[in-house]
């Protein structure tokens, strides 16, 4: 635990000197590997537009620790599920533990299986009350230690300033707007 605190202090200090998005995210990834040695890390921007169906969210990867298999600029569409509502409607961290949880929440779990991924922490990167991106760390162990979740959340906060915000999506992804659309 003490090593985790030293690592987090080190990354926050080191990021002050970074001048490019790419260098900053690579540095964050290097620190992520010290906290979670094996696994996959990515950041996905919310690039949903007013032209997208109301029950879909469009994501575009802007960073990937495994670019060959999960390329930067790769896109995916997600429907409204408990996972998307947790992150995009309520702006809450999602912690999934066990391969069954990943299979239940990720329709692309078949792609994850060869990596032996068994757990995930997804942290919403917020602009006001809108999730404009997700900071995603997948691990190969079935359970997270509490200090690992805290460390991942701090790394996400450190990364947030390097991830450009999406256009105004507040009309679409807030709990209030979701409730209004359900009443209509």
CA distance 1 to 146: 10
Which pLDDT tens digit goes with each residue over 99-142? Answer: 899 889 988 888 888 889 999 999 999 988 889 999 999 999 99
The domain tally of the chain equals 1
Percent of the chain with pLDDT over 90: 36
Residue 15 scores a pLDDT above 90: no
Q: How many CB atoms lie under 10 A from the CB of residue 83? A: 20
pLDDT-derived band at 179, boundaries 50, 70, 90: very low
pLDDT at residue 184 tops 80: no
> 116 CB contacts (<8 Å, ≥6 apart)?
140
pLDDT in tens, 30-56: 889 888 888 899 999 999 888 888 888
What distance in Å separates the CA atoms of residue 15 and residue 30, rounded to the nearest whole number? 12
Tokens linked to 22 = 């790419």
123 within a domain of the structure (yes/no):
yes
E-strand stretches of the chain: 39-46, 56-64, 75-79, 94-97, 119-127, 130-139
Q: pTM for the full model?
A: 0.85
Terminus-to-terminus CA distance in the chain, angstroms?
Answer: 49
**More confident position, 12 or 65:** 65
Closest to 78 measured CA to CA, from 69, 86, 70: 86
Q: Quote the pLDDT of residue 6.
A: 59
What integer pLDDT is reported at residue 74 of this predicted model?
Answer: 83
Q: Is 26 within the bounds of a domain? A: yes
Identify the CATH number of the domain in which residue 137 sits.
3.30.450.40
Distances (CA, A) of 122 to 31, 51, 150: 17, 26, 12
Residue 36 lies in a domain: yes
What is the β-pairing status of strands 75-79 and 130-139? unpaired
Give the domain extent around 169: 2-12+21-175
DSSP symbol at 165: P
Residue 182 covered by a domain: no
Stated length of the chain: 184
Does a structural domain hold residue 184? Answer: no
């Amino acid at each position: 635990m003490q090593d985790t605190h030293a690592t987090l202090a080190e990354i926050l200090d080191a990021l002050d000197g970074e001048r490019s998005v790419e260098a900053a995210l690579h540095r964050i990834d290097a620190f992520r590997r010290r906290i979670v040695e094996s696994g996959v890390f990515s950041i996905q921007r919310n690039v949903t537009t007013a032209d997208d169906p109301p029950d879909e969210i469009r994501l575009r990867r802007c960073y990937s620790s495994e670019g060959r298999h999960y390329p930067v600029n790769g896109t995916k569409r997600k429907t409204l599920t408990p996972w998307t509502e947790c992150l995009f409607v309520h702006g809450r961290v999602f912690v999934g533990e066990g391969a069954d949880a990943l299979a239940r929440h990720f329709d692309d779990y078949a792609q994850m299986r060869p990596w032996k991924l068994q757990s995930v922490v997804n942290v919403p990167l917020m602009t006001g009350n809108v999730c404009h991106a997700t900071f995603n760390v997948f691990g190969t162990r079935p359970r997270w230690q509490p200090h690992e979740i805290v460390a991942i959340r701090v790394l996400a906060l450190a990364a947030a300033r390097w991830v450009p915000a999406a256009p105004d999506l507040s009309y679409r992804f807030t709990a209030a707007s979701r409730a209004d659309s359900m009443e209509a």
